[in-house]
């Protein structure tokens, strides 16, 4: 069981000297050959469309929050390449372990946006069926779900299913103990799992240099015997290239893979946060210039893989998506207070039955008064 | 033919062995549970018999062990994990409180976590610091967990089998000092299910409520009290969650007096919860205040002092003396604050 994970030296595990890039900031192809194969035009076209829809979804969710329709919304505006890339690199049966900032990834996965947003609207802790979509509940406690991903991936390996898992974390969560335990367990048990760190430079307000003194977050994998890589997280081509290679690595029995993607959240941590207190407009502007959608669009157009018709279609799809979301979210959710007592246990305890009966009387009394 | 004599450790080992044999989905893992067989030898021989895939050692990281089990349970396995000692389980508390306990509820029943977290707990074995905590209140206070603690070898076997078969996560607290105590029981034994307390001794004058490590102490006290004219009933809770209000209430209504015996610090402990429930349900049957005999509200003392900390027969007999058979107020509670 406990197998010597890695035969070669640590240099085989180390990330590249500089983040992997396929595109320049303006979307031109970077010179030279990469060790990672270029993703197919078809995959890149899908990524483009999903990013356009995803960004519009994100903006709509932010707007709904300002209108009081969501309790809170952690935006992933600016991180579209990672949000979309993480999902497109997986197959349907593979498992995805999101944090609370992965709403865009979850709609890309095909989950109904109202189900995705139930947690943030506040009518349910998890609005979708994890087993149906192979997506774990959105995880708020930092890095805790990375250990689940390791365990689940190991379970899939034991069953010989060929399925893998991918867990998302941010730069701040790499300081949590669970992140390290997850890397260690995954490596020791050769679990087919990808850890995708979206390094968006800030853990709420705390910058990266207060999280770590490591050469990079990707270097953290080496100590556990994990193949690690860093990538320009605003370069959708590079993100997909590295994620696809990582999925192949995990699926073919080589164990876990750690990816650090350099990106930036253009919005505040949530609507309740004020990013101007800890970062400058100039910095945000610098990252806006590296916009993943614009870069991919420029690249695909130059190669003849994207037409005006395509971009217009994506824009229309995005508007339709947002319109449907507005309509759906402007309806008040149906609440079932007695349902709070469901699913505490498979079969409720006698005490829970008593408490449910007590709340039921309260509700009936309120109704009689109304 | 006589019934064989079985230790609790043997019973637990048999329960794991039989569960592994009966259900392919069962996996046992934790620190030192493989080749060594666990520091208390509860998993002795399981790796040899079932192979490394079914019973295996893990890295030394409790949050990792519990989180890994969550993932394996989501993937269709039934993990039975060991956290080596009560106080060593604390690194896993976030996993237990935020994920293990809540997964079924937060996913509206779509993701169940059938898993067992075995924790050797409580004192009385001369263990040095951090090896003797009574941590049951933390778990019992966390909705979504079932909390089980056997006091006999028969219950150890039966409750562990039931825990492994249960669709919900179970915190299985094993009283370390009872590992080597013997009961006359033939395995496989099946006793009463979760949520049923057992009346270990019938009596008419007062009810001693105990669980896990204090059950034998309560029974011993009941025997000693005969000389003083007391006929005591002893209730063994067996499972803290689900809690058997019915058996406890019926007993106290019959006897009219109740003393709760537990090793844990008394303040805000399981004993306090039981006392509250008893007075809510039995107030008009009570002839005396409900009393608790518990550990003091101190960090668990060094091993050479633990006999002064743990509830013993004398302390239980002292409590009986205070049960106001002559209807005088308890002198310890005459002042407004302070004692007990």
Q: Are B34 and B153 part of one and the same domain?
A: yes
Q: What is the pLDDT of residues B274-307, one digit of tens each?
A: 999 999 999 999 999 999 999 999 999 999 999 9
The answer to whether residue A249 scores a pLDDT higher than 50 is: yes
Collect contacts of A298-306 with beta carbons under 8 A, ≥24 apart: A298/A26, A298/A27, A298/A28, A299/A23, A299/A27, A299/A28, A299/A29, A299/A44, A299/A237, A300/A41, A300/A44, A300/A45, A300/A48, A302/A27, A302/A28, A303/A41, A305/A41, A305/A44, A305/A45, A306/A45, A306/A48
Considering chain A, what percentage of its residues have pLDDT values greater than 90?
Answer: 94
Chain A residues whose beta carbon lies within 8 Å of the beta carbon of residue B166? 346
Q: Is B340 a domain residue? A: no
Residue B148 binned pLDDT confidence (cut-offs 50, 70, 90): very high
Residue B131: active-site member:
yes
Residue A11 binned pLDDT confidence (cut-offs 50, 70, 90): confident
Q: Which residues of A touch B (CB under 8 A)?
A: 1-2, 124-126, 129-132, 136-137, 141, 144-156, 158-159, 165, 177-178, 181-182, 184-185, 188-189, 339, 342-346, 349-351
Q: How many domains does chain B have?
A: 2
**Rounded average pLDDT over B76-94:** 98
| Residue A322 dihedral angles phi and psi, to the nearest 5° | -65, -40
Give all strands of the β-sheet with B258-265 in edge-to-edge order: B198-201, B232-236, B206-210, B258-265, B291-295
In angstroms, the Cα distances linking A122 to A56, A110, A133, A157, B227 are 22, 21, 21, 36, 62
Residue A10 binned pLDDT confidence (cut-offs 50, 70, 90): confident
Smallest CA–CA distance, residue A27 to chain B, in Å, is: 39
Smallest CA–CA distance, residue A127 to chain B, in Å, is: 7
Question: pLDDT at position A370, please?
Answer: 85
Q: Which fold is adopted by the domain A10-28+35-335?
A: Rossmann fold (3.40.50)
Which candidate in B64, B94, B117 is best for mutational testing of the A interface (most A CBs within 10 A)? Answer: B64
CB-CB under 8 Å, A150 with B71: yes
Question: pLDDT at position B329, please?
Answer: 66
3-state secondary structure of A99: strand
Q: Does B98 touch chain A (CB under 8 A)?
A: yes
The answer to whether residue B239 scores a pLDDT higher than 80 is: yes
Q: Is B190 a domain residue? A: no
CB-CB under 8 Å, A144 with B95: yes
Q: Is A273 exposed, middle or buried (0-12, 13-18, 19+ CB in 10 A)?
A: middle
Q: Is B335 a domain residue? A: no
Cβ–Cβ under 8 Å, residues B82 and B48: no
Stretch among A270-279, A303-312, B192-201, B324-333 having the lowest mean pLDDT:
B324-333
Q: Is B61 a domain residue? A: yes
3-state secondary structure of A127: coil
In angstroms, the Cα distances linking A97 to A101, A131, A152, A182 are 11, 12, 10, 13
B contact residues 147-166, partner A, Cβ 8 Å cutoff: 166
Q: Are B154 and B225 part of one and the same domain?
A: no
Q: For residues A323 and B39, what is the distance between their CA atoms, to the nearest angstrom?
A: 61
**Rounded average pLDDT over B9-33:** 98
Q: Are B166 and B87 part of one and the same domain?
A: yes
Question: pLDDT at position A2, please?
Answer: 40
Q: Are B152 and B204 part of one and the same domain?
A: no
Cβ–Cβ under 8 Å, residues B9 and B42: yes
Cβ–Cβ under 8 Å, residues A323 and A315: no
Considering chain A, what percentage of its residues have pLDDT values greater than 70?
Answer: 98
* Residue of chain A nearest B109, judged by CA positions: A343
Smallest CA–CA distance, residue A316 to chain B, in Å, is: 33
Nearest CB to A151; choose among B70, B108, B167: B70
Q: What is the pLDDT of residues A157-190, one digit of tens each?
A: 999 999 999 999 999 999 999 999 999 999 999 9
Q: Which domain holds residue B320?
A: 198-329
Q: What is the pLDDT of residues B322-335, one digit of tens each?
A: 987 666 667 777 77
Q: For residues B321 and A73, what is the distance between their CA atoms, to the nearest angstrom?
A: 61
Q: Are B211 and B318 part of one and the same domain?
A: yes
Mark which of B132, B152, B184 sits at the end of a domain: B184
Q: Are B174 and B224 part of one and the same domain?
A: no
* Residue of chain B nearest A152, judged by CA positions: B71
Q: Is B337 a domain residue? A: no
Q: Are B163 and B29 part of one and the same domain?
A: yes
Question: pLDDT at position A3, please?
Answer: 45
Question: pLDDT at position B126, please?
Answer: 95
Q: Is B336 a domain residue? A: no
Q: What is the pLDDT of residues A45-82, one digit of tens each?
A: 999 999 999 999 999 999 999 999 999 999 999 999 99
**Rounded average pLDDT over B181-196:** 95
**Rounded average pLDDT over B212-220:** 98
Smallest CA–CA distance, residue A283 to chain B, in Å, is: 36
**Rounded average pLDDT over B242-269:** 98
Mark which of B135, B161, B184 sits at the end of a domain: B184
The answer to whether residue A9 scores a pLDDT higher than 90 is: no
Residue B225 in tokens:
């009290």
Residue A132: active-site member:
no
Handedness of CA A91, A93, A99, A101 (dihedral sign): positive
The answer to whether residue B337 scores a pLDDT higher than 70 is: no
Mark which of B135, B159, B184 sits at the end of a domain: B184
Q: What is the pLDDT of residues A281-312, one digit of tens each?
A: 999 999 999 999 999 999 999 999 999 999 99
**Rounded average pLDDT over A13-22:** 96
At B248, which CATH number? 3.40.50.920
The answer to whether residue B171 scores a pLDDT higher than 60 is: yes
Domain map (residue ranges) of chain A: 10-28+35-335, 337-370
Residue A190 in tokens:
């050769």
- Residue B208's beta-bridge partner residues? B234, B259
Q: Are B178 and B301 part of one and the same domain?
A: no
A187: number of CA atoms within 13 Å, CB side?
24
Which positions ≥6 away from A52 have C-beta within 8 Å?
A293, A311, A314, A315, A317, A318
Residue B228 in tokens:
């003083």
Stretch among A259-263, B41-45, B259-263, B332-336 having the lowest mean pLDDT:
B332-336
């Amino acid at each position: 069981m406990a197998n010597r994970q890695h035969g070669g030296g640590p240099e085989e595990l180390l990330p590249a000297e500089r983040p992997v890039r396929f595109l320049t900031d303006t979307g031109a192809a970077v010179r030279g050959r990469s060790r990672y194969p270029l993703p197919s035009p078809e995959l890149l076209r899908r990524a483009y469309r999903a990013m356009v829809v995803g960004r519009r979804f994100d903006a709509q969710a932010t707007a709904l929050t300002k209108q009081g329709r969501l309790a809170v919304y952690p935006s992933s505006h600016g991180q579209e390449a990672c949000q979309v890339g993480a999902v497109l690199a997986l197959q349907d049966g593979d498992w995805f372990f999101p944090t609370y900032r992965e709403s865009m990834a979850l709609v890309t996965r095909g989950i109904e946006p109202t189900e995705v947003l139930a947690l943030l609207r506040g009518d349910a802790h998890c609005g979708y069926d994890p087993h149906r979509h192979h997506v774990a509940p959105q995880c708020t406690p930092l890095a805790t779900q990375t250990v689940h991903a390791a365990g689940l991936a190991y379970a899939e390996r034991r069953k010989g299913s060929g399925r893998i898992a991918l867990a998302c974390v941010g730069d701040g969560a790499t300081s949590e103990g669970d992140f390290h335990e997850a890397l260690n367990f995954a490596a020791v048990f050769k679990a087919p799992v990808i850890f995708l760190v979206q390094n968006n430079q800030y853990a709420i307000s705390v910058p990266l240099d207060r999280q770590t003194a490591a050469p990079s977050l990707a270097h953290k994998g080496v100590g556990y015997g994990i193949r690690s890589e860093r990538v320009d997280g605003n370069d959708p081509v590079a993100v997909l290239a590295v994620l696809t290679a990582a999925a192949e690595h995990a699926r073919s029995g080589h164990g876990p893979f750690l990816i650090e993607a350099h990106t930036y959240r253009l919005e505040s941590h949530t609507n309740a946060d004020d990013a101007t207190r800890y970062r400058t407009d100039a910095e945000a502007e610098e990252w806006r210039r590296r916009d993943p959608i614009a870069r991919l669009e420029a690249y695909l157009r130059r190669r003849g893989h994207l037409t005006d018709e395509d971009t217009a279609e994506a824009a229309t799809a995005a508007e339709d998506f947002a319109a449907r979301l507005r309509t759906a979210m402007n309806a008040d959710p149906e609440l079932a207070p007695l349902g709070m007592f469901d699913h505490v246990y498979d079969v409720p305890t006698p005490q829970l039955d008593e408490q449910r009966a007590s709340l039921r009387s309260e509700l009936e009394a309120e109704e009689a008064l109304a | 033919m006589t019934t064989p004599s079985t230790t609790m450790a043997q019973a637990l080992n048999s329960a794991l062995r039989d569960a592994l044999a009966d259900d392919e989905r069962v996996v046992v893992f934790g620190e030192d549970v493989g080749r060594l067989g666990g520091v208390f030898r509860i998993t002795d021989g399981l790796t040899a018999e079932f192979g490394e895939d079914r019973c295996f050692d893990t890295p030394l990281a409790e949050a990792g062990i519990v989180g890994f089990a969550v993932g394996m349970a989501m993937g269709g396995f039934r993990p039975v994990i060991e956290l080596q000692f009560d106080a060593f389980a604390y690194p896993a508390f976030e996993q237990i409180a935020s994920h293990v306990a809540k997964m079924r509820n937060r996913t509206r029943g779509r993701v169940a976590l059938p898993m067992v977290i075995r924790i050797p707990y409580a004192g009385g074995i001369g263990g040095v610091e951090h090896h003797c905590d009574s941590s049951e209140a933390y778990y019992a206070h966390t909705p979504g967990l079932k909390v089980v603690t056997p006091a006999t070898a028969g219950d150890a076997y039966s409750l562990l089998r039931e825990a492994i078969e249960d669709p919900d996560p179970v915190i299985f607290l094993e009283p370390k000092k009872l590992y080597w105590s013997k009961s006359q029981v033939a395995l496989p034994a099946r006793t009463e299910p979760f949520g049923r307390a057992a009346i270990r001794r019938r009596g008419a004058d007062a009810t001693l409520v105990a669980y896990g490590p204090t059950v034998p102490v309560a029974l011993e006290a009941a025997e000693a009290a005969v000389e003083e004219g007391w006929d005591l009933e002893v209730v063994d809770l067996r499972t803290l969650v689900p809690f058997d209000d019915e058996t406890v209430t019926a007993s106290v209504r019959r006897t009219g007096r109740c003393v709760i015996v537990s090793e844990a610090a008394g303040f805000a402990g399981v004993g306090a919860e039981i006392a509250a429930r008893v007075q809510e349900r039995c107030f008009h049957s009570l002839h005396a205040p409900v009393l608790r005999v518990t550990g003091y509200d101190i960090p668990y003392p060094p091993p050479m002092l633990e006999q002064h900390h743990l509830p013993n027969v004398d302390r239980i007999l002292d409590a009986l003396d205070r049960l106001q058979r002559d209807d005088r107020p308890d002198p310890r509670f005459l002042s407004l604050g302070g004692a007990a």
